[in-house]
A and B are shown apart, each in its own frame.
Chain A
Amino acid sequence: MAIDSEVLVVGGGLAAITAAISASREGADVRLVSHKASTLRQASGLIDALGYVPATEPAKPLREGPPTAGRELDRDEWPDPEGPLSDPFEAIDRLPETHPYRIVGADALREGLDLFDELAGDAYRGSHTDRNALLPTFGGSVKPTARYPAAAEAGLASDDRPALIVGFRSLTDYDARAFAGRLEAAGVPFDVAGAEVEFAEAFRADAKITRLAKALDHDEEIDGTPAREALAKAVAPHLHDVIDDEGGVDRVERVGFPAFLGDQEGEAVRAELADRLGADVFEIPMGPPSLPGLRLEDRLYDALDAEGVRFETGNPVVGIDSAADGTIETVSVDRKGREVPYGADAFVLATGGLVGKGLDSDREGVREPAFGLHVEQPADRYEWFVDDAFGDQPYARFGVRPDERGRPLDADGAVQYENVFAAGGVVGGADVAREKSASGVSLATGLVAGRQAATEANQ
């Protein structure tokens, strides 16, 4: 006997959650299954829509023959991407025709962002405008993004108030002074200084950031002083570190920290620090391990629960069982060795791309392993990439190619299964890393796939 629902969503990231909630709001009974804990916990927590339009044609014609596999005999050249874009929507027409935004349309992106705004509530900012915000990120670059955590708000690069960036010697992958220097080099319109402070030295050198967050959440005592007070005291001597162009010294009006200011109690931690420092406090989004990603995961799974979506994490979908009429009837979930069928009227595949393991590859080819959907790719793997790491890498756009309803197409361009819809990283056609479009693609395709799956199930 199969475990049944009207719509079954496979995956656990932003696209899967968006699809599940969209389908549920169309009246479908929805179940979500994902193999591993959500990849949201590796995400920066920023919600990008479209930051750049990268060039798809090289500056000069590519050399004949296969790439040189790193030997750079005849290096190819690519123009810089267009951007940072101020308005993601107006640039969609300049993306390639096979881009998911071109297929599902700008309205899907807009509605996807609307849904996200509703789910994220007051934890996120940016919904007041179509325009991108510019956020300083961990690497010292400034990133165009559509939505950002409230915790990052005081850090906007468009804000001209002087800023202090705080770092800790024991957080080895985060150097505040280098970070401040890179921001200045990027031409931000404010004065900035970086300072290393002593707070985290109370912990062991490679203490996890979850440890620091927990100490701040619970305001644990550090050598007799509550953690939040201890952190403020460590930062206070540096509030006048910023020197302006004329050599004058101003007290900073905002202080940026690596994103570990509490997990459950983030708002209270920031408020207390701001109060003690007499300055706004903000977090700088980091790579994994990412507390903003963890917080977003918590919030979105609470939303799934509130929506009445059933969900389970821990077991992979490993195969399908299709009916004679070209639809899928059940998928097999591998429950620690035993395959259990899960039936549905419609399925959404949102298992991620090459990093999220929704696409699998070896030197023979690139595959979509769960449903065996068609993934367009050159037969010769030496045509999967170009020499320039920052060029238009064909592999970056690998994935399933959907129709306008989100249904993946086979090699001949026909719908592969009438009741299967794809969303997020498993969908090809976008180069999300260069475009800064990963979240937007997940929201837009997730919304369409969820709605269309519900429509299919209701028939």
Chain B
Amino acid sequence: MTRHTADDDEHGESNETDAAVEAAGDSGGDGNALAERPATDGGVESATGGSDSMELDPDAYDPVDVFPGGDLDLREGADSCYKCTSCDTSCPVAEVDDEFPGPKFQGPEQWRLKRKDDHDIDESVMSCSNCMRCDDACPSSVPLSQMHNEARGQFVDEQMEKLSVEYVRNRILANYRTSARLASLFPKTASFAMNFGPVRWAMEKTMGIPKERDFPEFATETFREWWKARGGAQVQNPDKRVAYFHGCYSNYNTPEVGKAMVRVYEHFGYEVMVPPQGCSGTPMFANGMLKDARRHAETNVENLVEAIGEGADVIASCTSCSMSLRQEYPELFDIHGIEDLSEHTFEALEYLRIHEDLDGELAGSSLADEQSFAYHAPCHARNQGLARQAVETFRDVDGVHMEDVGDSCSGISGTYGWKEEKYEKSMAIGEEMFEHMEAAEGDVGMTECPTCAMQMEHGTGYEIKHPLQLLEETVVA
């Protein structure tokens, strides 16, 4: 670290270098020594006919900060890119859409381009699905998804027409929680109306929501309603507490996943807390709606940090929610406590694998009705090192046959596959997964991500389960 930024961690070292430069400057007047000029080039000036001194002083090397650091200084990330294109080869969108210039452009290259005030952000950033596979692929840890999120936010803020159908549609998709909350007031009517042919035709024509997609059904009792009705936590344990971040989907659409979480964790003796919460922000990042995401983040950080203060770790059953709280939050927002939240957040199965003897617990258990599962690892699980956890956890359980359907992306990427202009690409990306699912032995799918589950069901017609539900059936039952 020798670069000077306002909040450089290694101030000490930087200051030493400053002192060395000043000292060198003071000693001036020596014909060929380094002393006369600030050492910005390690004393190597042969290309421009400079010093021919044999006395090189490595300590005088002091690269200057070319760009002034901003709030979100991503220069170090841009500089770390050595153009190996690993990100491009891992990008599921570039594989089906040759109009999409890939993450290397969207990240480091666009970041450099947009530093010029007169340079617009290329609209192709809106074709990025925010699967974040490029993060995992990059050997140099370039924060690609952070760069994409920032550029997308700026594009939507400054360049997107706020009255356009695309903006309105994206805003509605991004704020899924708002629609879901309204729909769950009249769940049966909403489930019917949202999938009623003429309504869907009109939605495609006026809003660009593809009519091929089935809207998820809304639960007649949300997870929070169930939680309240059962009287909250059944286990009190100040030594083992977790705060459940259920997210929107487990609350409004698949409360059975949330219930499985609660029963499994209570089985292991945890006191489960369910703090007030908003959306994790994942669909908002993917649509460049950073202000909406921040508003929800403020609520989440405040309530979850309070739970952490009471000894809880935060558990999400959706891998995109855990990804958001762990990685995107501290990357994008500066909210008091946000780092604490990041450090205390885990995915539900991950946490049990770390803290409980899950293998031992499962060794004696079995699934009553033998079942083969076609498991798909969500992209966001992949980035958290969780792509294999379900397969490994259940591999040796009696009555369970778990088959990994490979490392392809499901193609839906949250709201991406919900846009008419992206629908075909979404299905093309998913094709490999559909084929592998159909080739797999089982006819029940499994994944941690609710929108992957939607796509898996859409492409194969299979019932899709969450690993927590299988854990409930094997361990709690």
Contacts and interface: CB of A to CB of B under 8 A. Distances in A.
Interface of A: 1, 3, 33, 36-37, 39, 41-42, 65-66, 68-73, 203-204, 206-211, 214, 218, 264, 288-291, 294, 298, 305, 310-315, 333, 335-338, 340, 355-357, 362-363, 381-382
Nearest to A290: B89
Given A37-B137, A313-B136, A337-B339, A66 B56 contact: yes
B385 interface: yes
Nearest to A380: B58
A356 B139 contact: yes
Contact of B388 (A3, A312, A356): A312
A433 to B, nearest CB: 15
B85 interface: yes
A71 B47 CA distance: 8
Interface string B164-197: 0000000000000000000000000000000000
Given A37-B86, A289-B85, A363-B61, A310 B52 contact: no
B299 interface: no
B463 interface: no
Nearest to B59: A363
Given A36-B137, A336-B327, A314 B58 contact: no
Interface stretch (B94-102, B234-242, B281-289, B414-422): B94-102
A383 to B, nearest CB: 11
A289 B86 CA distance: 6
Given A289-B85, A336-B384, A211 B96 contact: yes
Nearest to B94: A208
25 contacts: A36-B138, A37-B90, A37-B137, A42-B84, A42-B139, A66-B56, A73-B52, A204-B98, A208-B94, A208-B95, A210-B89, A211-B94, A211-B95, A310-B388, A310-B392, A312-B389, A314-B383, A315-B384, A333-B385, A336-B384, A337-B339, A363-B2, A363-B58, A381-B58, A382-B56
Interface in B376-418: 382-389, 392, 404, 407
Nearest to A356: B139
B326 interface: yes
Contacts of A340: 354
A336 B354 contact: no
A22 to B, nearest CB: 20
A41 B86 contact: yes
B122 interface: no
A300 to B, nearest CB: 13
Interface string B322-349: 0000110010000000010011111000
A203 B97 CA distance: 9
Contacts of A206: 101
A333 B90 CA distance: 24
Contacts of B386: 312, 314
A358 to B, nearest CB: 10
A314 B384 contact: yes
Contacts of B86: 37, 41-42, 288-289
Contacts of A333: 385
> What's the interface size class on B, roughly?
35 or more
Contact of A3 (B52, B84, B354, B382): B354
B119 interface: no
Contact of A203 (B44, B88, B98, B346): B98
Contacts of B388: 310-312
A310 B386 CA distance: 11
B56 A69 contact: yes
B116 interface: no
Contacts of A305: 404
Contacts of B473: none
Given A214-B96, A313-B387, A208 B89 contact: yes
Contacts of A68: 54
Contacts of A311: 388
Contacts of B140: 357
B355 interface: yes
B462 to A, nearest CB: 21
A277 B406 CA distance: 33
Contact of A382 (B58, B102, B357, B407): B58
A68 B89 CA distance: 40
Contacts of B139: 36, 39, 42, 355-357
B42 interface: yes
A258 to B, nearest CB: 14
A310 B2 CA distance: 40
A312 B387 CA distance: 7
Contacts of A208: 88-89, 91, 94-95, 98, 102
Interface string B353-371: 1111100000000000000
A210 B408 CA distance: 13
A218 B56 contact: no
Contact of A214 (B61, B95, B343): B95
A337 B342 contact: yes
Contacts of A71: 44, 46, 52
A218 B94 CA distance: 15
A288 B85 contact: yes
A106 B372 CA distance: 46
Contacts of B94: 207-208, 210-211
